Amino acid sequence: MRVAVIGAGVIGLSTAQSIYEQYHSIISPLTIEVYADRFTPLTTSDGAAGFWQPYLYDKGNVQETKWNKETFDYLLSTLSSPECVKMGVFLQSGYNLCTEPAPEPSFKDTVLGFRRLTERELQMFPGYNYGWFNTALMVEGKSYLPWLMEWLEKRGVKFYQRKIESFKELAESGADVVINCTGIRSGELQPDPDLKPGRGQIVKVRMQTVFIQPIICVCRSRLVTVGGVFQLGNWSEQNNSIDHKHIWEEACRLEPSLKHARIVEDWSGLRPVRSKVRLERETIKTGATSIEVIHNYGHGGFGLTIHRGCAQEAARLFGQIVEKKGKGPQARL
């Protein structure tokens, strides 16, 4: 069976990994190919700060909460492995600050040591009168994506730097299943009025600091990611000097020591924003034939937070297709 994954961000690579893990010993031969016009270090996942945290207000989406937790538990389990350093995964504690009382987040029982802030702690952050502290995880895209690619390459997965213009293109080249992990570009393959860009911009500096959400977070002790902005509907991937000024002034107000940090770079990217993640199967007609497609996109600004749970679900959907095609373990007996 030939599987074509479109997209080489954290969603595409982790989905390829989960499909390989679950089916390489069941389906023979199993060929997995990854197609993308951008690979690490040029993907949106590479620019993300990498702090594991869902949106504070997740609209009660039970399924996404489950996928978030599965991702946290998976990443936490890697800390006992020597691979965690290469993966860019490590524990990180920090503050969430609010100007008014807010409901406790859905992830409070997933993270470690969740608690509300004391009055003494709040005095450190003028203008904020509510919040909480917890320990979560960092997963740095610039380390994690190269690790995923190396993991896949060692197992025979092939990579092709090429922009896929249509599902038909892959169907005609012989793919049995297509996995659509193209993020904000998914609308180019199939119209989706619910998909919108959420432009982000961050500033990266070199220093050591604590984590203060939503302004400052640590990436190891090498680079600190400061930001950012969220501009729904803005397609620009160019850095904006006005946004830079706003980000920097607000960050320095909360953490004055930043004024002495050395700015390394500005970065802008487009979050694939949707009312909910699109993770489903679809049979698409391509002329006289059809192709099985699994859509896995629309993760907004929390792709690294939810990727493993979504990858496992995509692999489960892939298993349904395998059964339907009669290429599963029952067909081999």
Which residues line the annotated binding site?
37-38, 44-45, 53, 182, 271, 300-305
Q: Is the dihedral of CA 40, 46, 52, 58 positive or negative?
A: negative
Residue type, position 263, single letter: I
How far out from the chain centre does Cα 114 lie?
23
How many Cβ atoms are within 10 Å of 246's Cβ, its own excluded?
A: 15
Q: Scanning the structure block, which residue is given the tokens 């969220």?
A: 230
What's the Cα-to-Cα distance from 117 to each of 91, 94, 104, 216, 264, rounded to whole Å?
20, 11, 12, 18, 32
Binding residues for D-dopa, by number, are 53, 271, 301
With beta carbons less than 8 A apart as the criterion, state whether 306 and 313 touch: no
Give the chain's length: 333
d(CA 83, CA 19): 20
Binding residues for FAD, by number, are 37-38, 44-45, 182, 300-305
> Tokens at residue 221, please?
């002790």
With beta carbons less than 8 A apart as the criterion, state whether 184 and 232 touch: no
